[in-house]
Amino acid sequence: MKRFLFSILACVPLLTSPVLAEPAVEALGTDFTFPNQIEGMPGKLSDFVALQINAFTTNDDVRLTYWEAGSGDPIVFIPPWGGNGAELISVIWLMSQTHHVYVLDPRNQGLSEKTLKGARVSRYSMDLNEFLDHAGLEKTTLAGWSMGASVLWGYIDLFGTDRISKAVFVDEPVSIYTHADWSEEERRNAGGMTTSPERMIAAFQGAPTNQQIVDMKVVERSQMMDSPYAQNSAALAKAVVDTDMAYAMRVMFDHATNDWRDVIEHKLDIPVAVFSGEQSNNLLSQVWIAETAPDGRLFSYTTAEEGDHFLMLKNPLKFVEDLRTFLAE
């Protein structure tokens, strides 16, 4: 269960890099049968014929992998801390019926290279910029879930919004760390969830914890695996991804201590969709993002709609429907 929780939880253009494109089952060297056979969804990974797993190399010589399928307007997903494209398989399948979908496995996550280099959100944002160059995406929608949203905020901070048509943020606090001089209103708006990044990281490694150190709602909701879609994606990730959380953990302190309020307040000059729900302790901060962005829209899910930190995995049908609605506006 811990593995599921924490796995869920100046650019040099690279257009000349070799594109290592392979059908997913060939790249993985195996097929996979999903434990839940769901009407309208692939029963086996090989049923998703259009799915490819590709790779490119960054300017600091790190090999990053990405999942790709579909055609039409592009959309790039950035998974959460510890997450990967396998966990987003339902979203890729559904969204690829109408769009050209990419999911970039960040360094030290998914199928991408494990490295001691670049364990900073700013480097992850640079990786995203280099990926856009590699894929030749001059204009695209960018969507980030959890820490993936922080990577997008870092990208916007560094590179602006010229290449972004619309942005999607899924349930990420604007600042995980609660500053001592904040009022309670500032903490709620930022989504501050820990008074000690060091103790939060220790809790992730098994130390005792409480609500002041870690968002216990995420722990609680991660254990509610009644969704067949989430069960399928978790099973695929467990089968094909070799997760080493010691590598993924390297970025956590930097991630936890960033404060993105200035980006939200001053740099979001594009349409923004924010996804959260009533079973997320981040909801108030997501309301603040949607209200602060000049052109922001909030999609808040009820408990019955799986409105928690894992809504993309648990209710991909509604998520993709709402996402398509936002993109068509």
Whole-angstrom CA distances from 111 to 114, 202, 231, 244 are 9, 25, 20, 11
Q: Report pLDDT for 217.
A: 86
- In this structure, whether the domain defined by 2-328 belongs to CATH 3.40.50.720 is answered with no
Q: Report pLDDT for 25.
A: 94
Domain ranges of the chain: 2-328
For residue 67, the cross-strand partners are 53, 103
Q: Report pLDDT for 204.
A: 85
Token pair for 215: 């968002």
| Residue position matching structure tokens 């997760």 | 243
Q: Are 277 and 308 contacting, i.e. CB atoms less than 8 angstroms apart? A: yes
pTM: 0.92
Tens-binned pLDDT, residue by residue, of the chain (329 aa): 344 344 444 332 333 333 456 899 999 999 999 999 999 999 999 999 999 999 999 999 999 999 999 999 999 999 999 999 999 999 999 999 999 999 999 999 999 999 999 999 999 999 999 999 999 999 999 999 999 999 999 999 999 999 999 999 999 999 999 999 999 999 999 999 999 999 999 988 888 888 888 888 888 888 888 999 999 999 999 999 998 989 999 999 999 999 999 999 999 999 999 999 999 999 999 999 999 999 999 999 999 999 999 999 999 999 999 999 999 99
Token pair for 9: 């939880």
Q: Report pLDDT for 21.
A: 66
Q: Are 149 and 170 contacting, i.e. CB atoms less than 8 angstroms apart? A: yes
Q: Are 107 and 84 contacting, i.e. CB atoms less than 8 angstroms apart? A: no
Residue among 152, 53, 41 at smallest CA distance from 95 = 41
Phi, psi of 100 (to 5 degrees): -90, 110
Query: For residue 200, with 0-12 CB atoms within 10 Å meaning exposed, 13-18 middle and 19 or more buried, which class applies?
Result: buried
Query: For residue 326, with 0-12 CB atoms within 10 Å meaning exposed, 13-18 middle and 19 or more buried, which class applies?
Result: middle
